[in-house]
Amino acid sequence: MKKTLSMLLLLTAAAKFAMAQGDVASGSVRDADGKPLHFVFVGDVANRNAVFTDTLGNFSIQIKPGSKLVFELDGYKDTVVNNINTNTGLLVVLKPSGVAADPGTLSTKVEVERSTEITSITQGGEIAPGHQKGDLRGSQYKFEVFVHGYLINGSDELVYKPNYMLDYDKVGGGLLLTADKKKIVNVISDQVKSFTLYSMSDQRYDFTKVPAIDNSHFVQVVAAGPKYKIYKLTKTTFVKSDYVNNGVVSHGHDYDEYVDDDTYFIEADGGQPQKFSPKKRALKEVFAKDADKLGKFMSENSGSINDEYLGKLGAFMNK
């Protein structure tokens, strides 16, 4: 095997296997003292694919023969590993850069609509103006803190900077970004084709634009494959307190609330997305052409039909 960088050490040779989209490269990222590095961006930029390392510094990313992987983390020097051709366990060691990441500019990649002081909205634990703690429930945002992620812009370029932190606005349906943790910018929807967010617990969430479902909101990709795609559209509305007390009886809620309304869609064989209910009877109708395969999955998987269940179902039905 070739040495691609002085800081790259090949640990073990893993079995190579063929996949429609390419091979899988896996390994870990550490600092010079051997400490695992969390949330390192691992990007196959040319093929518009990326992941982040987990709490143990581990990663696994789908690649194509000859892929070039870029490793980036705020405070460390960018590292490039060329000509990744096999499914191989890798150890990548990042060296400190000694300088903070350059905030840069979005103007050449994506555009923004507005800049808002971060303390003016419910973000990162802040409470919306006019409310006291305890009388506002739910959230306008996917996450209560900005999270790591990346986006694909209108030119099919993967856009990422180590200091960019992202979130999704469930009310407006758009992508929010902060580069300095002081101000939020709202990325113009037309400048984004898709984006990926990673929660603090390393859960991955993919969002994409599907005009046939909704023109104003991005939809979450629950499952994707050559035959079936499952999407979830979340629309969140603000509901004010309707509490009434006439001295005799009281009713209603004494708090304001953000309420989520989730709708699921399935796209089969490249056709138009069709709405469906996450219930067994509806799934049997949706997958009527693959009834035997669906029956096998259901016999081996029980529990609530939620995003996790539908994600596994989509992966199974696409095999």
Instruction: Give percent of the chain above pLDDT 90.
Output: 60
Looking at the predicted structure, is the pLDDT value of residue 268 above 60?
yes
Quick: pLDDT tens for 186-218: 888 888 999 999 999 999 999 999 999 999 999
Rounded Cα distance, 278 and 284, in Å = 11
Looking at the predicted structure, is the pLDDT value of residue 134 above 70?
no
Among residues 85, 55, 54, 49, which one has the least CA distance to residue 70?
49
Looking at the predicted structure, is the pLDDT value of residue 173 above 90?
yes
Q: Which residue has the higher pLDDT, 129 or 14?
A: 129
pLDDT on residue 212? 96
Which pLDDT band holds residue 111 (cuts at 50, 70, 90)? low
Return the structure tokens found at 56: 């143990």
Looking at the predicted structure, is the pLDDT value of residue 302 above 50?
yes
Mean pLDDT of 72-101: 84
Write down all domains in the chain, each with its CATH number in brackets: 8-93 (2.60.40.4130), 112-317 (no CATH)
Burial of 138 (0-12, 13-18, 19+ CB in 10 A): middle
Among residues 72, 66, 71, which one has the least CA distance to residue 84?
66
Q: What sign has the CA pseudo-torsion 39, 197, 23, 81?
A: negative
Instruction: Name, in order, each residue with C-beta under 8 angstroms of 49's C-beta and a sequence gap of 6 or more.
Output: 43, 61, 62, 63, 158
**The pTM of the whole model exceeds 0.75:** yes
Looking at the predicted structure, is the pLDDT value of residue 284 above 70?
yes
pLDDT on residue 67? 87
Looking at the predicted structure, is the pLDDT value of residue 38 above 80?
yes
Please provide the size of the chain in residues. 319
Instruction: Give percent of the chain above pLDDT 70.
Output: 79
Which pLDDT band holds residue 133 (cuts at 50, 70, 90)? very low
pLDDT on residue 59? 95
pLDDT on residue 5? 33
